């Protein structure tokens, strides 16, 4: 893993956006893996800014989002489809039919998971997968567990995850209890991974991600096995390259 530390989040967002856009400049029909939550908002703003300045086009880009809530109307402002439209897709020249977010309202969720993986594996591998990290070390919605799933699947959200996401809703009761997420196998299949971690309260889990033992109880530690992970953070952490 390569760790870059930043003093301010604006600079981090700029570098993160530049990394994603350099993939698109190198391959105009690149496949980008997208994330939601607080971490990517600033970098999406930077991508929109560059597009509006005429510096980049997303016309042929294809995207796959990590996850979506189950049972939340797609038109709900906190559905991840709505999030992506509001924060990025509505403001750039991407073709909406090339943007993929799992359908959390499918009548048959199992079939939807299979359909999502088929599209992902047909169009992939993802050139660059953007990731945030949960306080409990989840990646996408792959929550800590004794085993982790390889493919896209339905998950029960941990209470600490629902608590963390309560800030986007009126109350905890409104936070969905289930989600569909890409599996760890699909995430690790990406050619490169860009992990964005903001806020000193994430320093401890980021330290475990970088330096701790690899364990399914901290899904983010599996990133240690991937050959091309770039970590951008404003946390005060270090990456230990040896046992000492």
Residues 215-234 that bind ligand PGA (CB under 6 A): none
Which own/partner pairs from 157-161 qualify as long-range (CB within 8 Å, at least 24 positions apart)?
160/134, 160/135, 160/136, 161/134, 161/136
Both structure tokens of 103: 């359908």
Residues 133-192 that bind ligand PGA (CB under 6 A): 133-134, 138
Q: Say how many C-beta atoms besides its own lie within 10 A of residue 40's C-beta.
A: 26
Q: Could you confirm whether 138 is annotated as catalytic?
A: yes
- CB of residue 125 to ligand PGA, shortest distance in Å: 21
Contact 204, 133 (CB under 8 A): no
Q: Could you confirm whether 143 is annotated as catalytic?
A: yes
Out of 13, 112, 127, 143, the active site residue is: 143
Nearer to ligand PGA, 138 or 208 (CB): 138
Residues 28-67 that bind ligand PGA (CB under 6 A): 37-39
Query: Given the rule CB under 6 A, which of 1-9, 10-18, 53-61, 128-136 is the region that contacts ligand PGA?
Result: 128-136
Question: Residue 200: CB partners within 8 Å, gap ≥ 6?
Answer: 234, 235, 236
Question: What is d(CA 189, CA 193) in angstroms, rounded to the nearest whole number?
Answer: 10
Give contact residues for ligand PGA (rule: CB under 6 A).
Answer: 37-39, 132-134, 138
By annotation, the residues acting in catalysis are: 67, 136, 138, 143
């Amino acid at each position: 893993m390569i760790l870059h530390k930043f003093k301010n989040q604006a600079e981090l967002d700029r570098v993160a956006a530049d990394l994603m856009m350099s993939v698109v400049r190198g391959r105009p029909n690149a496949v980008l893996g997208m994330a939601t939550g607080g971490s990517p908002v600033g970098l999406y703003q930077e991508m929109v800014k560059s597009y509006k300045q005429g510096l980049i086009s997303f016309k042929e880009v294809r995207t796959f989002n990590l996850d979506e809530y189950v049972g939340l109307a797609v038109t709900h402002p906190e559905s991840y489809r709505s999030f992506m439209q509001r924060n990025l897709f509505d403001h750039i020249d991407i073709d909406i039919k090339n943007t993929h977010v799992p359908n959390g309202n499918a009548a048959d969720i199992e079939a939807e998971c299979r359909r999502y993986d088929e599209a992902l594996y047909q169009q992939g591998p993802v050139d660059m997968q953007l990731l945030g990290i949960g306080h409990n070390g989840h990646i996408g919605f792959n929550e800590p567990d004794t085993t982790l799933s390889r493919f896209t699947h339905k998950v029960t959200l941990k209470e600490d995850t629902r608590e963390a996401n309560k800030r986007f809703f009126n109350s905890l009761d409104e936070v969905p209890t289930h989600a569909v997420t890409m599996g760890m196998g699909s995430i690790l299949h990406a050619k490169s991974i860009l992990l964005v971690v903001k806020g000193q309260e994430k320093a401890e889990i980021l330290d475990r991600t970088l330096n701790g033992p690899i364990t399914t109880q901290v899904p983010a530690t599996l990133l240690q096995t991937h050959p091309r992970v770039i970590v951008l953070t404003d946390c005060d952490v270090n990456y230990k390259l040896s046992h000492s």
